[in-house]
């Protein structure tokens, strides 16, 4: 109850520091969208028609109102899982009500959010750096963008808590800047504020020639909305809501100012409308500020991808990877595999598209699919909270209609480069589904044996056998069985096969990943005092499973409470700690050659085992000190081959 009250207090309180952090972490992506959104809608040399300009501004105003403000800020932020947000947290929150079929929705949404993370840093940084072309027309922007991206990914391994303190102030300056220059440009054509009337948006989409297809570019103004929900656990719900008021006003002023410039100039140029409203006296500082803002936005997105990957790993959607905690900031993680994979993918995007205007074709399509899945999951969450059916249906219909319209408009981007994001998202989805299905198939093949008195007595007798040399003082096996009365065949085979593994104390550890993000609990069953224990570890899906550390903590706690008494042998007399030496035995399976499987099942299982190659071994997975680990292997037979008739000649 205290934890729940603590989370409620965390989300309810509003502090200046929290609002500042929210500006730096949460709104980086959506806050840099004015750099490139109008570039995707108004092309160089285009004669500006007021109907189009006002219609686009009206669509932007109502997109930021409907999608960002109402859907995410007011509704979606309510769905917190013990304080955490994001699509995987939402899935973990509601799966108990609807079953496992929601897995596919969550996996698709998460996969395309990662795909969006591959294109966002390149387009953000490129759009900022290209502002220098107004001063240096022959400047090679591609090497500069690549250099910034490489530097950005290189610093991840050192942690970002030192530079992170500057994110909020820099972004606050950025939002103030875009609001002020927007207001200055707006003062020359204040009539564009008439676009607040949704009639202009309606006329653009219905009456203006090919106006509906402009939604593909308009959607870019809200692509960072999903980050609000994902980062809720870092800054708190109300801090996001309060800071959004200022952020939204700044964004609308900036878009209105760009619209005013377009109408007064009458013609779009090669230079982005954003840079055209920047006063010449501060042009160079503005490019530097824009570059800093895009770097911060990219940093926030990279951190978000790490968090998303960590949740996917702990929920069993993705192979295990090495996870590092480089700083002291809660929730800050670094995953080397994802860091370098994202870097290579981002650089590939820059080399393929070259310019930000080309990247816009691939941008937005993937995040539209994520938003659709979030809408579906939010509708189910509202129903699970027993909200009135008419309310749930209204919310679902409105947002599904808006997002399907964006999706249809974005489909035109497929030939122009959007296919890349679809392929990336589909590949990530495929990997997640194969990994999840393969793990389930493997778990079904594990054979359990009742840990009956006979088996237990045999283990106790071995523990007290003086004629057999000690293998270790403590021997720990990781078990998939939550039930203390069951044990895997492979574990007993490991203990009683040569070499016989005699230990003073046998431990069987079951690690359970809970739906809550930061849970850290354990329960223990004493099968035989001072000889055999079964431990059930319940860890949140954001907690790194440092089982080696947890074992030492639990063993020492049992020693203090008297539930475990260690015999003061000669070895224990000289031991460096109170518990003596210990060994973890990891039993890995491999696909036996004696299998005969149908084609599709064989493909699934072999793909699963191949995917293990991109992950880490179980000792790293469970945070075990390698000096305390023994690795064993056993063959896994899903279906025996037909008996062979071997003829002797």
For the stretch 603-613, pLDDT in tens is 887 888 888 87
Reported as half-sphere exposure (CB side, CA atoms, 13 A), residue 51 has a value of: 10
In a domain, 530, yes or no: yes
> Which residue carries 């070499």 as its tokens?
499
**Domain termination site, one of 439, 472, 507:** 439
Res. 3 pLDDT band, cuts 50 70 90: very low
Q: Based on the fold, state whether residues 118 and 209 are members of the same structural domain.
A: yes
In a domain? residue 215: yes
Answer for the pair 262, 273: CB distance below 8 angstroms, yes or no: yes
Residues in the chain: 649
**pLDDT over threshold 70, residue 450:** yes
Which 8-state DSSP code applies to residue 613? G
430 and 537 housed in the same domain: no
Locus of tokens 């109102």: 65
Mean pLDDT is highest, among 172-181, 233-242, 623-632, for: 172-181
How far, in Å, CA of 485 to CA of 489, rounded?
13
| Among 163-167, 195-199, 322-326, 482-486, the least confident range | 163-167
- 541 and 408 co-located in one domain: no
List beta partners, residue 632.
587
Most confident of 53-62, 206-215, 266-275, 325-334: 53-62
- For residues 168 and 56, membership in a common domain is answered with yes
Mean pLDDT for the stretch of residues 79-97: 82
Are 466 and 325 in a shared domain?
no
- Other beta carbons within 10 angstroms of residue 43's beta carbon come to 10
Res 10: pLDDT? 46
pLDDT for residue 13 is more than 70 = no
Query: Does pLDDT of 246 surpass 70?
Result: yes
- Does residue 412 carry a pLDDT above 60? yes
Q: For position 160, what pLDDT does the model report? A: 57
Q: Residues of the chain with pLDDT > 90: what percent?
A: 32
- Categorize the per-residue pLDDT at 1 as very low, low, confident or very high, splitting at 50, 70 and 90: very low
40-to-36, 217, 218, 250, 406 alpha-carbon distances in Å: 7, 5, 8, 20, 14
Between 226 and 559, the more confident residue is 559
- How many Cα atoms are found within 13 Å in the side-chain-facing hemisphere of 411? 7
Higher pLDDT pick, 536 / 9:
536
CATH number at 322 reads 1.20.1740.10
Closest to 480 (Cα-Cα) out of 491, 472, 471: 491
pLDDT at site 144: 93
**The pLDDT of residue 249 is above 60:** yes
Please name the helix (run of DSSP H) or strand (run of DSSP E) that holds residue 589, with its range, or none: strand 582-591
For the stretch 574-594, pLDDT in tens is 666 677 788 999 887 777 666
> Which residue, of 439, 470, 489, is where some domain finishes?
439
Summarised one tens digit per residue, pLDDT across range 131-159 is: 888 888 888 889 999 999 999 898 887 76
Task: Mark whether 421 and 453 lie in a shared domain.
Answer: no
Domain that holds residue 579: 448-636
For residues 277 and 271, give the distance between their C-alpha atoms in angstroms, rounded to a whole number: 10
Phi (first) and psi of residue 344, to 5 degrees: -60, -40
106/311 Cα distance (integer angstroms): 11
Could you give the number of structural domains in the chain? Answer: 2
641, part of any domain: no
* Average pLDDT of span 25-39: 87
Residue 647 lies in a domain: no
Please tell me whether residues 421 and 514 are part of one structural domain: no
Average confidence score pLDDT of the chain? 84
Residue 44 is predicted with a pLDDT of: 85
Residue 1, in any domain of the structure: no
Q: In the numeric block, which tokens belong to residue 58?
A: 């009206």
Residue range 540-562: average pLDDT?
87
Same domain assignment for residues 423 and 475: no
Q: Classify residue 486: in a domain, yes or no.
A: yes
Residue 643 within a domain: no
Residue 332 is predicted with a pLDDT of: 64
Position 323 scores a pLDDT of 79
Tell me the pLDDT tens digit for each residue of 278-311: 999 999 999 999 999 988 888 878 877 888 888 8
Do both 268 and 363 map to the same domain? yes
Residues 386 and 471 in one domain: no
Is 401's pLDDT higher than 90? Answer: yes
* 58, 63, 66, 69 alpha-carbon torsion, rounded to 10°: -110
Distance between CA atoms of 422 and 615, rounded to whole angstroms?
24
49 within a domain of the structure (yes/no): yes
- Per-residue pLDDT at 4: 44
- Highest mean pLDDT among 408-417, 426-435, 559-568 belongs to 426-435
- Mean pLDDT of all residues in 360-369: 80
Q: Which of 15-19, 207-211, 391-395 has the lowest mean pLDDT?
A: 15-19
pLDDT category at 357 given cuts 50, 70, 90 is confident
Between 324 and 393, whose confidence is greater? 393
Judged by average pLDDT, the poorest of 218-232, 492-506, 627-641 is: 627-641
């Amino acid at each position: 109850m205290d934890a729940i009250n603590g989370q409620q207090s965390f989300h309810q309180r509003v502090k200046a520091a929290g609002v500042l952090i929210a500006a730096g972490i949460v709104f980086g992506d959506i806050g840099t969208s004015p750099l490139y959104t109008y570039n995707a809608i108004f092309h160089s040399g285009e004669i500006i028609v007021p109907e189009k300009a006002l219609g686009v501004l009206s669509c932007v105003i109502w997109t930021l109102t409907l999608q960002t403000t109402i859907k995410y800020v007011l509704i979606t932020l309510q769905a917190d899982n013990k304080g955490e947000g994001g699509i995987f947290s939402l899935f973990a929150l509601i799966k108990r009500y609807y079953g496992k079929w929601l897995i596919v929705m969550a996996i698709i949404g998460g996969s395309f959010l990662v795909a969006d993370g591959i294109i966002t840093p390149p387009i953000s940084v490129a759009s900022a750096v290209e502002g220098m072309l107004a001063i240096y027309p022959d400047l090679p922007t591609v090497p500069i963008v690549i250099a910034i991206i490489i530097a950005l990914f290189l610093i991840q391994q050192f942690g970002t808590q030192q530079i992170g303190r500057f994110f909020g102030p820099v972004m606050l300056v950025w939002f103030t800047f875009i609001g002020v220059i927007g207001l200055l440009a707006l003062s020359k054509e204040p009539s564009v504020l008439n676009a607040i009337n949704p009639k202009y948006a309606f006329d653009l989409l219905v009456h203006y020639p090919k106006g509906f297809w402009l939604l593909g570019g308009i959607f870019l103004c809200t692509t960072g909305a999903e980050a609000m929900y994902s980062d809720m656990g870092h800054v708190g719900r109300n801090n996001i809501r309060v800071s959004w008021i200022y952020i939204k006003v700044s964004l609308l002023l900036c878009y209105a100012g760009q619209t005013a410039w377009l109408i007064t100039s009458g013609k779009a140029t090669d230079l982005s409308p954003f840079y055209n409203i920047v006063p010449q006296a501060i042009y160079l500082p503005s490019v530097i500020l824009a570059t800093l803002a895009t770097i911060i936005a990219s940093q926030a997105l990279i951190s978000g991808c790490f968090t998303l990957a960590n949740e996917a790993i702990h929920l069993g959607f993705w192979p295990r990877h090495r996870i590092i905690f480089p700083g002291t900031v809660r929730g800050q993680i670094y995953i080397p595999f994802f860091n370098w994979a994202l870097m290579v993918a981002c650089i590939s995007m820059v080399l393929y598209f070259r310019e930000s205007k080309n990247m816009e074709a691939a941008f937005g399509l993937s995040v539209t699919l994520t938003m659709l899945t979030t809408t579906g999951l939010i509708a189910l969450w509202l129903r699970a909270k027993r909200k009135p059916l008419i309310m749930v249906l209204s919310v679902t219909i409105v947002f599904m209609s808006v997002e399907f319209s964006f999706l249809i408009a974005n489909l035109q981007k497929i030939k122009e480069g959007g296919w890349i994001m679809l392929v990336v998202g589909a590949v990530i989805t495929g990997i997640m589904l194969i990994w999840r299905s393969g793990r389930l198939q493997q778990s079904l093949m594990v054979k359990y044996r009742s840990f009956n008195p006979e088996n237990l007595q045999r283990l106790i007798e071995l523990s007290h056998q003086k004629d057999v040399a000690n293998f270790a003082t403590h021997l720990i096996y990781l078990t998939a069985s939550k039930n203390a009365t069951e044990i895997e065949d492979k574990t007993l085979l490991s203990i009683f096969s040569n070499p016989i593994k005699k230990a003073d104390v046998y431990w069987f550890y079951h690690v359970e990943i809970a739906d809550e993000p930061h849970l850290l609990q354990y329960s223990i069953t004493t099968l035989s005092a001072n000889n055999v224990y079964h431990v059930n570890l319940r860890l949140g899906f954001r907690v790194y499973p440092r089982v080696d550390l947890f074992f030492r903590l639990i063993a020492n706690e049992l020693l203090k409470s008297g539930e475990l008494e260690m015999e003061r042998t000669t070895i224990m007399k000289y031991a460096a700690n109170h518990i003596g030496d210990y060994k973890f035995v990891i039993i890995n399976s491999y696909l036996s050659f004696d299998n005969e499987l149908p084609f599709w099942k064989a493909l699934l299982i072999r793909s699963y085992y191949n995917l293990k190659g991109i992950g880490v071994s179980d000792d790293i997975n469970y945070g075990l000190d390698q000096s305390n680990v023994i690795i064993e292997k056993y063959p896994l037979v899903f279906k025996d081959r037909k008996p062979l008739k071997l003829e002797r000649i």
